[in-house]
Amino acid sequence: MANFANLNKVLGEGLQPGSLDLADTIRCCFTLNYIYRVHMDSRTPLLDSIPLHLCDHQLMVEYLIEQMTVQTYTSVDAERLVSQGISHLQHLDNPKLEAMFYGIAGAFMSHSTINPMQGFQFLEKALALSKSTGETTVQCNTLVSMAICMSKQGNSTAALALSRQVQRIAYQATDLVQVTGALERVARALITLVTTRTEIHIRKSEYAEAKSIQTALLQNPAINKNSGRYAYTFLNIALVDVMIATTKELVEQNLVAARKVFTRVKSPVPIIYCDMVLADLNLREGNWVLARAQFQECLNSRDAQVVLYCVEKLADSTRWPAHFQGHAKWPMICLCESHRLQERLMLYKALLFIGDWFISEDEVTAHNLFTVALEGFTFLDVHQSRAQCFMRFGEIAQRKGDSSKAAEMWQEARPLFERSLQTKDVEQIDRRLAALEKEHQSSLANFMTLHPPPEQLDEEVFEAHSEVTRSHVGNMLGC
């Protein structure tokens, strides 16, 4: 850290007005920032000291690229940076720099709340340019960003196919230096893809698999324990643990560990991730006033992941007491945000949440919404959300007096809740099924009391009569 401080001091002196070789000094700052990102998952404070009114179009594009690469560690204005970069590129004929810019801008915008669709278009442009110029590093970065986009859209097959392309790129290089650089980039890309695999498992509510991956990363000696990547591992484990009812103390312990590293490397955006998971924990624990305030504070972030996460929690009326539910604005906001950000999974969750508002007064509309949501969750293979739809179908059937259908739906939900480690929901289903069975036995006993078999019938006839009676009652109950 002392060496970094010395480098910052020396380069900072070279950024003073009137300094000779200002352009070279600025590019040295970019190199130092790369070292910060690779080794500490952080940024050099020198980026804030670079003169903003540069006449060199290429240098300005390089500066804007560096600003976008550190968007994980600080809040930046996406639209302004991208617009400025495109403006400067119009004065240049540098396809390599253009490929790098659109690759970074595409990743930047696809993860923001601004325009994810345009972000993916930028990635496609970057990939085409990088292929034409042979920029191996840009190809790796771009393919990884595209894989992350595909996984967030629920297309895990495409995400894995893109990740395999990344693995093959290193061996397409033609000289040792290029191979070495490519392998370094691929190694970093593959670590990112491990995180992507975790995200895919979380989205499918395969929490055991997600936690297993992150626990293995936590124990990997190759990961720098002072890096943001190490902190993200604690954060991901905490996020999963909130969902599977791990103890409050253990979740808080992992959040504290993550926050400590993020604070040390000066990464404010990931600290917001810690805040949103803490809000979810407070919601789970019944601290509703605090949870709502924390979610609404996190919504000030421009990060798409934060916005979608918080809106989803606020929109799920089943997690809030009646006096906290307010009105249906949050499910509608959830629907609008999912459409704007092209988030298919969140779109189906929004339909589920809207259906919850209809279920008490308009069961037909609610049933239709749940049906569409179930079709989407089935296509995306999301176990917990499928189970939630079946639970609601069972509740509608029970309201109509169709105990057989209710039992059928809850039995469909049970293994899906088990798959997603939702023990409380499994216990709730078991209680409901037991109550239905008790009700069935009570109805059978009452029927037998009202229709006793004739005393003079022999044992064989009595058994036959009893079997007919049981069958008749079963048909009445639909069992």
pLDDT at 387: 98
Is residue 262, in this structure, part of any structural domain at all? yes
Sign for the CA dihedral angle at 234, 237, 239, 244 comes to negative
Judge whether 334 and 299 are in contact, CB under 8 Å. Answer: no
pLDDT at 72: 58
pLDDT at 476: 46
- C-alpha distances out from residue 369 to 274, 350, 365, 373, 409, Å: 33, 10, 6, 6, 16
SS3 256: helix
Secondary structure element (H or E) that encloses residue 214, with its range = helix 207-218
Residue 194 to residue 190: CA distance in whole angstroms? 6
pLDDT at 117: 81
Is residue 244, in this structure, part of any structural domain at all? yes
Is residue 470, in this structure, part of any structural domain at all? no
Residue 183 binned pLDDT confidence (cut-offs 50, 70, 90): low
Report which of 75, 101, 77, 76 is spatially closest to residue 87, judged by C-alpha positions: 101
Is residue 471, in this structure, part of any structural domain at all? no
Domain C-terminal end among 260, 285, 310: 285
Number of domains present in the structure of the chain: 2
Question: 171-180, 216-225, 376-385, 407-416: lowest mean pLDDT where?
Answer: 171-180
The letter for the amino acid at 386 is: R
Domain C-terminal end among 229, 255, 285: 285
The pLDDT of 412-417, averaged and rounded, is 97
Report which of 130, 110, 111 is spatially closest to residue 120, judged by C-alpha positions: 110
Is residue 236, in this structure, part of any structural domain at all? yes
Average pLDDT of the chain to the nearest whole number: 83
The pLDDT of 109-128, averaged and rounded, is 82
Residues 425-454: tens digit of each pLDDT: 999 999 999 999 888 777 767 766 766 655
DSSP state letter for 170:
G
Is residue 324, in this structure, part of any structural domain at all? no
Domain C-terminal end among 32, 51, 70: 51
- C-alpha distances out from residue 424 to 209, 243, 428, 431, Å: 20, 11, 6, 11
The pLDDT of 301-324, averaged and rounded, is 89
Beta bridge partners of 112: 303
Q: How many helices (H) and strands (E) does the chain have?
A: 22, 0
Judge whether 68 and 112 are in contact, CB under 8 Å. Answer: no
Model confidence at 129: pLDDT above 90: yes
Report which of 202, 278, 286, 291 is spatially closest to residue 244, judged by C-alpha positions: 202
Cβ-Cβ contacts under 8 Å for 194 (sequence gap 6 or more):
213, 217
Residue 51 to residue 201: CA distance in whole angstroms? 44
Structure tokens at 478: 């639909």
- Structural domain harbouring 216: 205-285
SS3 204: coil
Is residue 219, in this structure, part of any structural domain at all? yes
Is residue 245, in this structure, part of any structural domain at all? yes
Residues 230-245: tens digit of each pLDDT: 888 999 999 999 999 8
Cβ-Cβ contacts under 8 Å for 117 (sequence gap 6 or more):
342
pLDDT at 378: 94
